[in-house]
Amino acid sequence: MDWISGRVGGRDRIWIVFLLAMALGLDGADLGTVGAMSSILQTRFSISKIEIGLLISVSKGIGIFSALFFGGFVDRTCRTRLLAIIVGLWAVAIIACGAAPSFMFLLGARMVLGALAAATLPCTASLIGDYFPGRDWGRIYGYILSGEMIGTGFGFIVSGEMAHFWWRLGFWILAIPSIPLAWFIYQLREPERGGQRRRAAKNGEDDERLIGKKAKEAQVEPRKRLVRNDDPATKSIWWAIKYVLSIPTNAVLIISSALGYAFFSDVRTFGVEYAQHGYGLSRTAAVGMLAILGIGAIAGVWVGGTLGDRLLAKGHLPARVWVATAFFCASVVLFFFGFFFAILWLSMILFVCSSFSLGAVNPPLDSARLDIIHPRLWGRAESVRMVLRNATEAAAPVTFGWLVSDFGGGATGLRNGFFIMLIPLAIAGGIAFITFRTYPADAAAATAYRKNTINGAGSDDERENPSEKE
């Protein structure tokens, strides 16, 4: 416990990390459950692979609209209570999924799930930024995002096995942890917006040592059109959308993240089937194989976040985007050869390494987005990212199901489908190189904008004014 508390910055933070990880884990568990139960649901409701993909797609598709709706609430209301209400309603929706008398009823219940799940990440991102200092964001993100991976594994293994006794139990078991989780999140203290950095500044530990100061040492000027004096909390959602998309680094990271999650969605939905058909494994062995890959992904999120933080602390300003880009590219190469070879033990080694690499992308990438966004825009910025992420995750399973059917199904169809879906993943890694040039100026602009508003009670001399410098 002492070692864990040292890693997260104190015993009081362990509970926060655990609860936020659990909140993300619920959505991962639900989506993993659908993947593990795909064969059972196809038989129970007499549906095809395309309709199984549709179960994922509709939940993510409805999240495109609800993410923007909840983003404004995240930046203006009590985030802990909002998240608690969402988790409580999520429990009701998952119970409805298990009670579904028909495929259309199940589809409708999953739409409600998708609408609620879309609010989880904006809440989580904003709370991480205010609960923890910026120097630790990558590492903390790694621990919390591992909850999503563990939740997916729980859905694959526990829910999948329960579904063999009675398919409704596969959904209902997920409601058991979500009800007390909602209560515990409700009891959390709401952190002050931007307060983490102000408290650190009073102690001489301002995060400028990591971002703003390093940018000045490197003679990086803020992107002046992004530095404003007005409080973003008073702005509309449409203004926020326009502003966050005008940040070059953020626009690139949103696209890269969305394409990466699209591929992960395909693996999560059809991975068990591929292991069964591609290597002749039993369902239990296939689930075990996916569980091992999940362990690799969890190790990746821990390593990726910590590595980005350490390189940043050593003075490498774009370290977080460097780490994310490197692991993106590695995952593409490793997945390609993993699908290329039909030898189980060799593919298994390559898949574990590729899962590790894909998992290592997200913590540094997500913490980099916090670096370049004003704290009072974190919720809406994350909701904008969720729009594109949900759109790609909604389209990916249906597209994959169509590709597999077009290729004739079976092991060959699944393998060819994964080969094609590697193309968007390669694009994600390729465009991430753009951030090497844009990140420093955007991070410096976010630091200056924060000073002008959150610290804006001071004199005008304390404000950053890039136009005067030039």
pLDDT digits (tens, 9 = 90+) for 38-49: 778 888 888 777
Task: Give the residue-averaged pLDDT of 293-303.
Answer: 90
| Res 427 pLDDT > 70 | yes
DSSP secondary structure letter of residue 235: S
Within 8 A by CB and 6+ apart from 23, the residues are: 83, 87, 120, 123, 124, 147, 181, 185
| Average pLDDT estimate for 428-457 | 85
Looking at residue 428, what is its pLDDT?
A: 92
Using the predicted structure, report yes or no on whether residue 459 has a pLDDT greater than 80.
no
Residue range 374-378: average pLDDT? Answer: 91
373: left (phi over 0), alpha (psi -120 to 50) or beta: beta
Average pLDDT over residues 129-136: 87
- Of residues 467 and 378, which shows the higher confidence score? 378
> Which carries the bigger pLDDT value, residue 69 or residue 307?
307
Nearest-angstrom CA–CA distance, 28 and 90: 13
Q: What is the mean pLDDT of residues 271-280?
A: 84
Across 54-64, average pLDDT: 77
Phi, psi of 469 (to 5 degrees): -65, -35
Q: Can you read off the two tokens belonging to residue 431?
A: 């465009």
Q: Examine the pLDDT at 470 and tell me if it is beyond 80.
A: no
Structure-block tokens of residue 234 = 């008073």
Percentage of residues of the chain with pLDDT beyond 90 = 31
Question: Are 73 and 82 a contacting pair, CB within 8 Å?
Answer: yes
DSSP conformation class of 221: P
Q: What is the mean pLDDT of residues 314-342?
A: 90
- Find out whether 156 and 29 touch, Cβ atoms under 8 Å: no
Give the pLDDT mean for 177-187: 92
- Is the predicted pLDDT of residue 159 greater than 90, yes or no? no
Mean pLDDT value across residues 261-276: 82
The confidence score (pLDDT) of residue 454 equals 67
**pLDDT average, residue stretch 143-151:** 87
How many whole angstroms separate alpha carbon 331 and alpha carbon 424? 12
- Kindly report the pTM of this predicted structure: 0.81
Has residue 217 got a pLDDT over 80?
no
Mean pLDDT lowest among 163-167, 255-259, 442-446, 457-461: 457-461
Q: Rounded to whole angstroms, how far apart are CA atoms 297 and 304?
A: 10
Q: Residue 156: pLDDT above 80?
A: no
Distance, CA of 445 to chain centre:
24
pLDDT of 327 above 90: yes
Inform me whether the pLDDT recorded for 272 exceeds 80: no
**Average pLDDT of every residue of the chain:** 83
